[in-house]
Amino acid sequence: MKRPSILVFVLAASGPLRTQANVAPGENAVPAAAICEIIALAEADLPLASGPPDTTTDLAELLALNMTVAPEDWQKMADKIDPSDTSDQIKQKAALKTPAEAGNFNIRWRQWGEARKATNKNGEVKYNLDKLGYTSLTEDEKKTIADRVKTAAERAMHFEQKLAELRPKLDNADLKAANTYLKEAAFGDATGKIANINIGKVFGSASADTRPNACSGNLNAGAAKTLAAVLTCICAESGTAHDGACARKVEVANTWTASGERASDKLTTVRGVLKLCRQTTAKVLTSAAIATPYTALNHNVRTQSGTHYIGSLQSGSDCNGANTGGVCIKFNDYNPGNGMDLNKTPWGEKIAAVTAALGEREAVIEEAKALAALIQAEKQQALTAIYQRTKPTAAAQKNQAASGNTQKQGTQEETAEAEKICSAAENNKEACDKLKDQGCTFNTESKKCELKKDVKAELEKENQETGGKDGKPTSECKDKPQKDCTGNCKWDGKECKDSSILVNKQFALSVVSAAFVALLF
């Protein structure tokens, strides 16, 4: 079919039915295409769109981190936790005085127990915190970290609770039956396929003894109970001269004349019509994939002499299949103003239910994704709290000042920092693998985590370009007098220099925090 012809069909379908000599070629192409889109979705058994990311690991890691930096008496209390503890046992173990105090404890008790169990596992979390300089901090610094991590953990648990409330909405009964509903709408059978279509279920009525009777009736009681039936009524050839009402001739050898031919005898005709429907290109089942063609089909209900049709009617009032009569389906009680629309048909009711359920699920997924992102952000905040207090800058500079050394060249500093991130994983291959995005690789010969040679070379090249060939520091601190050498700058006795070893932006907080995740967990 040529593209200009499609435009003609769209324009013809946008208004009331007009009486003309014959059913024009392709006149029913637009509603037929809409029906075929939905039938193709029913045939495909598509999966639903994926849900929100799993935040189980993020939350568990954050809670384990929170437990590790918690006060010692809190950790000792957590050692007593048993997942099967009753409210009274929780009250006793936590030394709570009133039932009101036990409210939050009852909710979080098991989570705290799991977090404590995680921190006790080989002592890895505590060990790595110690290695990163946590134990060398003052008590006030540790308390600052603990408070910030605790706040992040509490907020994350709040978001997780909201997320838990949403999860049942991602898998309700209508969603589980989405493909079943589509098949019933398309074929009248929960397990229907084009190859095994049941003609009795397609039309499903003893009144379908002739084509006019099969292709007309009330919305919820007509013989055309499926989309396959509707498609047959608006596309099947009759014994009169046709030129393809639905864009091409449809199995002319299996015509369906107006009189004396029951719908139940027209299995081969229905199968021929269904050959119009090509396979869908969709990969997942979405509300839009169904709603778009269904809306188009609703827009193609047209009016003539007070009666509503989908298809083409040239003369009379019967959908008899004749090219001079009507190749259509008629709805006797169609009245959208009173709620009598296509949703009242057996097939439309199921399509509307699936579309609504999918739309609600997709909205929930977006909300859940936002909550998951907030949980991940809280975990990052906790790691930030530790990084800001345990980054090696202060200790490194103290050592340099004590030995009289000047600040190293930017190239050496940044390369050394990159190597330090990798070497912190030591002989732990799993931890090293988590640092691959930071350029680390596990040396199978030395059994150690190391910075990749090509990454090291590239890093040195980049830093030479940005740090200056003469090896002098290039930063906001350079050339400042001693009285102005404050904030992120430090006076080393001779000149003002960066107080941070991380001169290059390449080692910003987000990168280093990612390394912490691998080391701590």
Three-state DSSP at 498 gives: strand
Q: What are the residue ranges of helices labelled H in 236-280?
A: 267-274
Q: What are the residue ranges of helices labelled H in 167-266?
A: 173-176, 178-187, 199-203, 211-214, 227-235
Mean pLDDT of the chain: 77
Q: Could you read off the pLDDT of 112-167 as tens digits, one per residue?
A: 777 777 666 545 566 566 666 777 778 888 888 889 988 999 999 899 999 999 99
Q: How far is CA 261 from CA 211, 228, 230, 246, 318, in A?
A: 7, 18, 17, 21, 15
Backbone angles phi, psi at 21, to 5 degrees: -65, -50
Q: How confident is the model at residue 498 (pLDDT cuts 50, 70, 90)?
A: low
CA dist., res. 306 & res. 304, Å (int): 5
Backbone angles phi, psi at 313, to 5 degrees: -125, 120
pLDDT at 245: 87
Find the range with the poorest average confidence among 115-119, 280-284, 508-512: 508-512
Looking from the CA of 444 toward its CB, the CA atoms found within 13 Å total 0
Domain boundaries, the chain: 3-50+180-360, 392-520
CA dist., res. 394 & res. 401, Å (int): 10
Query: The tokens 């909405």 sit on which residue?
Result: 169
Q: Could you read off the pLDDT of 430-453 as tens digits, one per residue?
A: 777 767 766 888 888 888 888 888
Q: How does strand 216-217 pair with strand 326-331?
A: parallel
CA dist., res. 505 & res. 434, Å (int): 21
pLDDT at 327: 92
> Other CB atoms closer than 10 Å to residue 365's CB: what's the count?
18
Q: How far is CA 76 from CA 81, 90, 98, 221, 520, in A?
A: 9, 14, 21, 71, 21
| Structure tokens given for 161 | 């609770």
Between CA 350 and CA 280, with CA 277 as vertex, the angle to 5 degrees is 75
Beta-bridge mates of residue 140 = none
Between CA 187 and CA 195, with CA 190 as vertex, the angle to 5 degrees is 50
pLDDT at 163: 93
Element (H, E) at 148: helix 139-166
pLDDT at 113: 73
CA dist., res. 494 & res. 103, Å (int): 59
CA dist., res. 413 & res. 367, Å (int): 43
| Structure tokens given for 313 | 């009617």
Element (H, E) at 216: strand 216-217
Find the range with the poorest average confidence among 262-266, 344-348, 427-431, 487-491: 487-491
CA dist., res. 131 & res. 501, Å (int): 18
Residue 28 has pLDDT above 60, yes or no: yes
The pTM (predicted TM-score) of the whole model is: 0.67
Backbone angles phi, psi at 309, to 5 degrees: -135, 160
Residue 407 has pLDDT above 60, yes or no: no
pLDDT at 386: 79
Q: Between 395 and 302, whose confidence is greater?
A: 302
